[in-house]
Amino acid sequence: MKKIFTTLAFAALLAGSAKAQFVFPIELEGSYDNQGVKTVIMESNPLVGQVLFTGGVDQVVSNGQYDQDGNWVLNADWEANSIIADAKQWHDFIGFTPDNESSDLGWVTINHERVDQNDQLGDGGGMTVFKVKRADDGTLEIVEQTLDGFGTGDFFNVDFAGTVGETGMNCGGINSADGRIWTAEEWWRNSAESIADGLRNTEFTIGEGWDESSPYYGETIEMYQNLNYMVEVDPRSAKAIRKQYNWGKFPFEGGAVMPDNKTVYMGADASAGTFTKFVADTPNDFTKGTLYAYKHDNEGDKWIELDVSTIDGAINAYKNALDNGASMFRRLEWVVEIGGKIYMTETGRDGIGSAYTDHPNAVLNPHIFDEVRERHPEMAGKPDEVVESFIRDEDGFADYYGRVLEYNPETQTVKTFLKGGPYFAQEEVAAEDYPSKHLSNPDGLTVLTVRNKNFMIIQEDLNGSSHGRVPAGAAARTCEMWLLDMDIVNPTIDDLHRIAVVPNGAEVTGARATSDGNTLMFNAQHPSADTESNGNSFTYAISGWKEVVQGLTAIDDAKREGVSVYPNPVSRWLNLSEVTDVAIYSQSGQRLKVERNTKKIDVSDLTPGLYILKTAKGETVKVIVK
């Protein structure tokens, strides 16, 4: 587990020279068996990690391939000769569909955000699907399947080219509570030239997923006009079902289906990002209903209707939303429903350019105004309209870190739930000044439910390195995954638990739990070539979360009781209640390691046994590592 996935040893970066370092002796004198010495126990880590699926390495089964004219031809000889190809890369969204008819857990779907031409797997982006079951040791085991039209194998290419048309840049998506899966086509495409490198075909006729009474059926459109939709797929058959033209063409990233199985909320990853919802006429039937865009300053109801009754209306939905005064956000990413509320990551962007001024009718959502006033004293006390002009007309606010937003359907308001940061005014932040926790550019978002307790899982995709997103001198950007107890009211960054850091150069994304809550899967997208995966994206699974929840509660209890040293059960770290110098000694008194100016110390390399921890504050703690 540790070689491929490990909590990054920031302590190495934080161990810079302090102005006056405390000197820890090489050997301790005296006995620490007396009852007056505090003891903490580092339980054996119940979490077990494994790589499930690696791009460019694992082989996937396809049901067809292109002929010389660019037509997708199904494999008529699939029972005897399957079409096999290397898996696509740039893993992103993960979906999970439970199997309620066997002892297997269910189907896992993986987005591929990279766009390229592929003779066997289809042009554009794509998806891979596989089935898993619970192994005897509690980890996941891939289930071999035989799919009609494909053949036998472990991993299967989802057929878009032969059904709803090729997809572009499969990024985020939607996973409903009952296991329905939609993939989101994010990167905005508005011309034939913009897709020439990744797709060979230039037009598409709509058919699959829509009956003849639909306003979209039989319409022939340009291929770029057939991109940027939410696309439903069937993991069981590895085939796409339909592109949701009635949800509009947007630079979609994420979405969530509400418990009523009628209402769908969606976010657009654009600098002028929009927040939309679709309300179905009938539960579970998303082919008929009404599309809306959020407009916070609308009188009465805050949702304005968008006309998608024709294919032209669907294609122009994003433009029409902004032209009709929709509220703008700075790059909405993933969306999740927790406890009846909607949570969204707004990842931020350093500079906005003309993204806001290009849409004079649209308005900025005001959740960001107070943050602007905090950062810019000249805006303190200014009315909202002045602050809005400062942001949109002067590009005066560099949104380095982003945030997590909360939408309350009862009040129809969007507010900041968890602010990124902490903020650093200086371009570079020295390692010795770097905080133990820093949230930058949240992107992926999901919920992990264990023993009826909800945890938000937040994943980073750094937009840059400056202003504390990584410490000065760091060799590369490193993205972290965080866990937040949703019982905490008004959470801050201090309430986050770091649970993963992916290799250099990679985005951590896709986090999704199995339906039993005991395994959390996530992706490391496009890691650097010099990492252990050789630059290949991979899907990772961590199992054992049912045993961790009680440990997380213990952490919170320890903080409330003022304990200065306490273990983190989701990683092999000892946390300290304040920044200090710290040393670890063996039971016989030999100094093993020293860390400077830190709030945590890595003990993953310590064998089971008794150790002594001493701090520059004069505290002595016995540590039992199991």
Question: pLDDT tens across 393-433, in order?
Answer: 999 999 999 999 999 999 999 999 999 999 999 999 998 88
pLDDT at position 421: 97
More confident residue, 32 or 62: 62
Q: Environment class of residue 169 by beta-carbon count within 10 Å: exposed (0-12), middle (13-18) or buried (19+)?
A: buried
Q: pLDDT band at 17, cuts 50/70/90? A: very low
pTM: 0.88
Cβ contact 320:359 at 8 Å = no
Q: pLDDT band at 598, cuts 50/70/90? A: confident
Chain centre distance of CA 400? 18
Domains of the chain: 10-45+562-625 (2.60.40), 48-350+398-547 (2.120.10.30)
Q: pLDDT band at 12, cuts 50/70/90? A: very low
Please give the torsion angle defined by the CA atoms of residues 147, 150, 152 and 156, in that order, rounded to the nearest 10 degrees: -90
How far is Cα 485 from Cα 238, in angstroms, rounded to an integer? 35
pLDDT at position 549: 64
- When mean pLDDT is compared across 66-80, 549-563, 580-594, the lowest value belongs to 549-563
How far is Cα 175 from Cα 336, in angstroms, rounded to an integer? 9
CA angle 408/94/247 to nearest 5° reads 55
pLDDT at position 9: 29
Question: pLDDT tens across 132-156, in order?
Answer: 999 999 999 999 999 999 999 999 9
Q: What mean pLDDT comes out for the span 195-199?
A: 93
pLDDT at position 33: 64
pLDDT at position 561: 40
- CA-derived radius of gyration, the chain: 26
Q: Environment class of residue 476 by beta-carbon count within 10 Å: exposed (0-12), middle (13-18) or buried (19+)?
A: middle
Paired tokens of 20: 């006056």
Q: Is the pLDDT of residue 15 over 50?
A: no
- When mean pLDDT is compared across 140-144, 229-233, 331-335, 621-625, the lowest value belongs to 621-625
Identify the residue whose tokens are 């909360």: 406
pLDDT at position 599: 76
Please give the torsion angle defined by the CA atoms of residues 159, 163, 165 and 171, in that order, rounded to the nearest 10 degrees: -40
pLDDT at position 617: 82
At residue 485, the 3 state secondary structure works out as strand
Q: Is the pLDDT of residue 592 over 90?
A: yes
Cβ contact 332:326 at 8 Å = no
Q: Is the pLDDT of residue 166 over 50?
A: yes
Please give the torsion angle defined by the CA atoms of residues 497, 500, 502 and 503, in that order, rounded to the nearest 10 degrees: 100
Q: pLDDT band at 94, cuts 50/70/90? A: very high
Q: Which amino acid, 435? A: P
Up-side HSE of residue 347: CA atoms within 13 Å toward CB?
A: 27
- When mean pLDDT is compared across 67-71, 288-292, 575-579, the lowest value belongs to 575-579
Q: Is the pLDDT of residue 19 over 80?
A: no
Q: pLDDT band at 35, cuts 50/70/90? A: low
- When mean pLDDT is compared across 105-109, 298-302, 461-465, 564-568, the lowest value belongs to 564-568
Q: pLDDT band at 563, cuts 50/70/90? A: very low
Name residue 410's beta-bridge partners: none
Q: pLDDT band at 569, cuts 50/70/90? A: low
Among 121, 254, 111, smallest CA distance to 176 is for 254
Mean confidence (pLDDT) of the chain:
91
3-state secondary structure 305-354: EECCCCHHHHHCHHHHHHHCCCEEECCEEEEEEECCEEEEEECCECCCCC
Among 612, 602, 604, 548, smallest CA distance to 574 is for 602
Q: Is the pLDDT of residue 388 over 70?
A: yes
Identify the residue whose tokens are 């033209």: 245
Cβ contact 539:91 at 8 Å = yes
Question: pLDDT tens across 198-253, in order?
Answer: 999 999 999 999 999 999 999 999 999 999 999 999 999 999 999 999 999 999 99
Paired tokens of 379: 């805006």
Q: Environment class of residue 90 by beta-carbon count within 10 Å: exposed (0-12), middle (13-18) or buried (19+)?
A: buried
How far is Cα 128 from Cα 488, in angstroms, rounded to an integer? 36
How far is Cα 485 from Cα 589, in angstroms, rounded to an integer? 38
Cβ contact 457:450 at 8 Å = no
At residue 556, the 3 state secondary structure works out as helix
Cβ contact 16:600 at 8 Å = no
More confident residue, 555 or 358: 358
Question: pLDDT tens across 151-162, in order?
Answer: 999 999 999 999
